[in-house]
Amino acid sequence: MSDWGFYDNLKSDSETDTVNNYKNVPFWVLLEPIDFQINWKNTAGKRPIQTKKERRYYEKIWLKQTKILLANQNSLNSINIYSNPYSKLCVRSFNKYGQYGVQVPCYRISNEIYSFFGIIKKNIKYAEYLIIIKTPIYQYSKWYRYNDIKKLYRNIVKTQLSSNFEYANSSWYILNNRLKLFRCLNIDYLNNKCYLIERVLHDILFELNDFIKIKHFILNSIK
């Protein structure tokens, strides 16, 4: 099973005329790894929505029983996560199959420590972009580096599975012309880059002739 293998367990798209069955996923869940999202979907995601009154009641009990205080209601968002100020959830309906959408609402600056020759250690920082995929019954997300998005684009567009992707190619050309030669983590630059990545994905979505036929290809193209 690939990283996106949970799609294999979804009902057939002909059965997903389920606007009433659509489950809104809290944004903090979408920031977590895929395995966590699947676990949440199969557990907490199936519970009835808690009323505000009931939630306040249990929050008071929790605060009385713990020394850890909620310092900030927005504390779920890491200081390294930045919202895309231009982001829009673009949704398209595919006849009887229902609505599918894509969005890149934020990005983050991550870092890893690499060891060179087993001696020299270097802290490398890089940007990752959160891609949200909306299906007729659910939504999932995953963090991608730009190189992964480049592979995704090439796999979908260059093979011309269902379209010549005229607008997607144009948006990709604009994105590549705006890229800096060396890695840049400037916030204004990343805001613009995040917007252009989302624009490419929107164009791909709207230029597809049949999303269902290549759905698994899109989601499984990045290992």
Predicted local confidence at residue 8, as pLDDT: 39
Predicted local confidence at residue 77, as pLDDT: 43
The token pair that represents 119 in the structure block: 């001696």
Query: What are the domain boundaries of the chain?
Result: 5-220
pLDDT tens, residue by residue, 79-98: 688 999 999 998 888 777 78
Q: Residue written as tokens 């730009």?
A: 146
3-class SS at 19? Answer: coil
List of the chain residues with pLDDT < 50 = 1-20, 68-77, 221-223
Percentages (nearest 5) of helix, strand, coil residues in the chain: 45, 20, 35
Q: Is 106 exposed, middle or buried (0-12, 13-18, 19+ CB in 10 A)?
A: buried
